[in-house]
A and B are shown apart, each in its own frame.
Chain A
Amino acid sequence: MIIALIPATLVHWEVLPVWLILFAAGVTVFRVAVFKGWIAELNKWLKTSLMVLCLLLFIWTSRSLFTVENAVGFFVLAYSLKLVELRSQRDAYIFSFMTLFLLTLGLLFSQSLFRTVYVFFFLGIGLVALAAVSTRVKLSSLTGSLGRVYSLMLLALPLLAILYVVFPRFGPLWSMPLKSTSAFTGLDDTVSPGDVANLAQSGERAFRVTFENEVPPKKELYWRGLILDRYNNGRWSRSFIQQNVERWNRGGINLSRDDPFDYEVLLDPHNREWGFALANARLVSGDAYTTNQGLVRFTKDVKSATWYRLADQSPAYEELTLTEAKRYSRLPIEENPRTREWARDIQSRFGSPREQINHVLEYLNQNEFFYTLSPPLLPRANRADEFLFGTRRGFCEHYASSIGILFRALGIPTRMVTGYQGGEWNTQGGFLVVHQYDAHAWLEVWLEQEGWVRVDPTAAVAPARVESGIRDAVAGEGTFLQNSPLDLARFNHVNVISWIREQAEYLNYQWVSMVVNYDQESQRSLLGRLSGKDDIRYVAVLLAILAAVVFGALGIYSVWPEWKKGRKQPIQRLYHRFIRKLAAKNSNIHAGMTPRQVLSAAGAAQSRSSVEYRQNIRLIAQGFEQLLYVDEPQEASRRQILRQLKAKINRL
């Protein structure tokens, strides 16, 4: 049981302060030592002071008190302290229960297949502890209860599956006071140089996509997440207008899961309210909506893996009002003078915005610009100038930002779009995995007659980035995931590793999309399909039937041995019935009497009863004697006697 503490604590290693883990380990060692008799129990004063010390340390190390992480931390602390004073059976019970609870809390922070298997496996240890505590099992016979508990757990799995499928799903009943503060990796809604580059160091998954139809070529996979329309103080961000547009201009209508769609996105939790979609997307189903700018938005932050389905729609031409055009080309005055100068130069040479853009992209392509994950630092002021005419080494955000400034200086309505570009194809599962290192920033410009058009300056500098991904784009410098040297994604050129990665990714995808994401809508869809109609009454009937089946099976399972035995001994069964019938009237008669004893007992007490009644009892008793003690060779005649007896007893 002591051992249960280790996995229960370890499951939380990522959110716990180090000292708490060390403390838990220390307590474990202490408990084992006490158990072995090496040291004595702590006395009351020592225990109290230890508790106070821990509490103080806890408050001191945790900055904000009311978060999920701190609640878990506090629970671990209480749990470890409980182990310090583990004495009575009651303590042990409580400790086992805490183990179960704490392990389960581990699923708060991740619901991956690995984490789930881990939690369920060690729940078994908790249950074994419970079994050991309740029956006071000695350590030596613990293996027996281990086997018993795990076989019980196996039996529980089908039950669990049924409950999981049919238990009604609904939204949160109330919002929890404890929020999580753990940093999710993902895009932010402002971009200043260096942000995306940090993201590119993360091998974590952002989302996964399955396509219903043909998969677009990789260089077309621009997953739009955010539109940053405001440039100020060296950073791109969302203006209030943009934020309102996103909030109120809901484009798509929420339809059912069974409607046709083009691709399905399974978004990993990033604690933000935005999703990602290709251009010109319309949401088909999911707990979200698409704005009229084709962005996917959720009504609340995404805290668990979430899916949504999208359909392509033909691009709609959007007319830009004068104020909007102004807003999209607004720049702080007196910044980046050289860039402005260059803009003026371009303007004088090329007439149409299209030509101007093409010239800029060509210029980027023809001149010494480098795509790198470790660009030199830029000064705070005039970053576009410094970049375009100085360092010329940068990452997508440098290009998007500087060129965006240039375009705006040219008077072209321009906005920065951030999201992801590309993705890794999983051949096993037939889906696309988009990682954090696929994060990307590009531009959208508004052109007369055409509307918003995508322009990616990075693609002009490093075509490899959009055609085969960042790994190849920076292959020469070895900076890909350089901060996480053990990430398997780094070793993708090794065939075995890429295969393992792909398999694991596939399994996890199946796990999340089939199991973890089973929600209200998928439940209705599944149960509706099972019952044939999309009607909640059928579902109710189905539920009732399932419950009946489950409990019936449980019942049969429990009385099966008795029933089997009863089948084997029809005579004994009938005889018991006979005795019970008599015993109800005559207290002298009880189970375990022979027919002759019954007869004499009945005769002694029942003088008042009718002659016929006594005669009947006599006949039945004799019949039983014959059946029980006389060997009757004919099976048929035995059966006949039994039938007669049955009839007589029924009449009694």
Chain B
Amino acid sequence: MLNVIQRFEERMAKWVEKRLPPVKEVELSHREIFILPTRWGLLFIGLVGLLVLTGINYQNSMIMAVGFFLFSILLLNIVSAYRNFSGLYVKFHHSEPCFAGELGGLEFIVAGREKGHSSVEIGWVPDSFVSVSVDKGENERFIIEHPCPHRGRYRPGRMLLTSVFPMGLIRAWSWQDLNAEIIVFPAPVESAMVWGEAEGDQESGRKAMVPGQEDFEGLRSHIPGESMSRVAWKKYAQSGEFYSKEFAQPLTDPEWIDFNAYSVGDTEVRLGMMCHQVLTMHARGQLYGLRLPGKTISPDQSDLHRTRCLIALAVYPEL
């Protein structure tokens, strides 16, 4: 029995895959919309049946009429649900990377090109849903939070667009793969371990322990892209302009965070540790570089650099 259901589900998935291939954006049309009554819709049909029966048995025309009327309302609900749903334009906009185990935010755009759309729920089963309404000619951005358990380029896959508008009796829905993607950084793994024991980078490893960047040297004007942690906020408050605090750079070589320097742990653990390291170094404002098998990011210290390093960790072994 379970097997049959499973097979059926697989076939359904295949069918949906074939019928609705992944797209960058979608404007829902009859090809993509499915409509069925909700359980309340079924109950409503039951109510209609009950009323018509009551009308017949008590020979009461008006009760029958109400039954017919509610039935008409149900039919119009189908039409209305369809009209509300069709023509809805949805596009994946972008996503903000997150760390594994966190909720990642995926930003979408919906637009009502020809007409408005009310109370459309978009998201992934079971609980990453956002309810959106958009007026005619407007567009709406919204972020769906989705749990991202694993490092990498995470694709939540086929999402459910659904609406029970206008009365909750009829559900219109569509499955769409909008190629939504989110980059998930490895979850930082804190480790007391110093990688000095590993061969090769002993010196630099030890030097990494030397605090040398606490010495404040002066201010210079802020360069866009620089770490915000270095902005002289007090100065900003006074002058209204961004200045960056310059610290004495250690004369030593920049630190290298090297995949091969870790002696323990599997790939994922190592990447997690490296992630932690990147974050710590960045927080300290230290110059650091990243070495992954097949990829090297030369030392720098900007926010952009941090992101680049984290992305490299996230998508490893992709280059």
Contact = CB atoms under 8 A, between A and B. Distances in A.
Instruction: Tell me if chain B binds chain A.
Output: yes
A156 B165 CA distance: 17
Contacts of A37: none
Interface string B32-57: 00000000100110010011011011
A332 interface: no
A590 B25 CA distance: 11
Interface string A522-535: 00000000000000
B168 A123 contact: no
Interface stretch (A144-152, A230-238, A321-329): A144-152
B61 interface: yes
Interface centre among B43, B61, B63 (most CB of A within 10 A): B61
Contacts of A97: 40, 43-44, 47
Top 5 A-B residue pairs of the complex, sorted by shortest distance between their CB atoms: A134-B168, A159-B72, A156-B72, A163-B68, A135-B119
A368 B2 CA distance: 97
Interface stretch (B75-83, B103-111, B199-207, B263-271): B75-83
Interface in A297-327: 303-304
Given A120-B69, A148-B166, A562-B29, A104 B51 contact: yes
A92 to B, nearest CB: 10
Given A131-B168, A561-B87, A160 B65 contact: yes
A583 to B, nearest CB: 7
Do most interface residues of chain A lie in helix, strand or loop, or is the interface mixed? helix
B215 to A, nearest CB: 55
Interface string A129-159: 0110111100000000100110011011101
Nearest to B166: A131
Nearest to B87: A561
Interface in A206-243: none
A516 B22 contact: no
Given A120-B66, A303-B58, 7 more contacts: A97-B44, A105-B63, A159-B68, A171-B59, A176-B57, A554-B79, A561-B115
Interface string B141-185: 000000000000000000000001111110000000000000000
B182 to A, nearest CB: 21
Nearest to B170: A134
Contacts of B57: 172-176
Nearest to A562: B29
B286 interface: no
15 contacts: A93-B40, A101-B50, A119-B66, A123-B69, A131-B166, A131-B167, A135-B165, A136-B131, A149-B166, A170-B56, A172-B57, A554-B79, A561-B115, A587-B21, A590-B22
A93 B69 CA distance: 19
A135 to B, nearest CB: 4
Interface string B307-318: 000000000000
Contacts of A134: 40, 164-169
A602 to B, nearest CB: 16
Contact of A160 (B53, B69, B169): B69
A271 to B, nearest CB: 13
A157 B76 CA distance: 11
Interface residues of B, number: 54
Contact of A107 (B21, B66, B72): B66
B68 A160 contact: yes
A591 B22 CA distance: 9
A583 B21 contact: yes
A565 B28 CA distance: 13
A100 interface: yes
B24 interface: yes
B75 A554 contact: yes
B175 to A, nearest CB: 15
Contact of B86 (A176, A515, A562, A590): A562
Given A127-B73, A130-B167, A516 B83 contact: no
A163 B71 CA distance: 9
A108 interface: yes
A104 B49 CA distance: 13
B191 interface: no
Given A101-B51, A173-B53, A561-B87, A111 B167 contact: no
Given A554-B75, A562-B29, A591-B23, A100 B47 contact: yes
A517 B60 CA distance: 9
A559 B30 contact: yes
Listed residue (B23, B68, B87) with the most chain A CB atoms within 10 angstroms of its CB: B68
A108 B118 contact: no
A485 interface: no
Interface of A: 93, 97, 100-101, 104-105, 107-108, 111, 115-116, 119-120, 123, 127, 130-131, 133-136, 145, 148-149, 152-153, 155-157, 159-160, 163-164, 167, 170-176, 303-304, 515-519, 554, 557-559, 561-562, 565, 583, 587, 590-592
Given A174-B57, A176-B57, A562 B30 contact: yes
Given A130-B168, A171-B59, A561-B114, A156 B65 contact: no
Contacts of A516: 61-62
B98 interface: no
Given A100-B47, A135-B168, A565-B114, A176 B58 contact: yes
Given A123-B66, A163-B68, A152 B73 contact: yes
Given A159-B72, A160-B72, A558-B79, A108 B165 contact: no
Given A123-B66, A164-B68, A107 B164 contact: no
A108 B63 CA distance: 7
A133 B38 CA distance: 14
Contacts of A93: 40, 168
A170 B53 CA distance: 11
Which of A100, A127, A134, A515 is the most central at the interface, judged by chain B CB atoms within 10 Å of its CB? A134
A163 B115 contact: no
B64 interface: yes
Most central of B57, B131, B164, B167 by chain A CB within 10 Å: B167
Contacts of B64: 164, 167
B70 interface: yes
Contact of A163 (B44, B72, B119): B72
A168 to B, nearest CB: 10
Given A108-B63, A591-B23, A173 B40 contact: no
B109 to A, nearest CB: 15
Contact of B166 (A145, A156, A590): A145
Contacts of A587: 21
Contacts of B119: 135-136
Nearest to A124: B73
A515 B56 contact: no
Nearest to A98: B47
Contacts of A517: 61
B64 to A, nearest CB: 7
Nearest to B35: A558
Contacts of B40: 93, 97, 134
Contacts of B59: 171-172, 303-304, 519
Contacts of B167: 127, 130-131, 134, 149
B70 A100 contact: yes
B60 A111 contact: yes
A590 B21 contact: yes
A93 B167 CA distance: 10
Nearest to A97: B47
B229 to A, nearest CB: 41
Contacts of A120: 66, 69
A108 B76 contact: no
A430 B88 CA distance: 57
Contacts of B24: 592
Contacts of A156: 69, 72-73, 75-76
A304 B24 CA distance: 62
Contacts of A565: 114
A133 B79 CA distance: 20
Contact of B76 (A133, A136, A159, A304): A159
Give the most central of B24, B68, B73, B115: most A CB within 10 Å.
Answer: B73
A561 B169 CA distance: 23
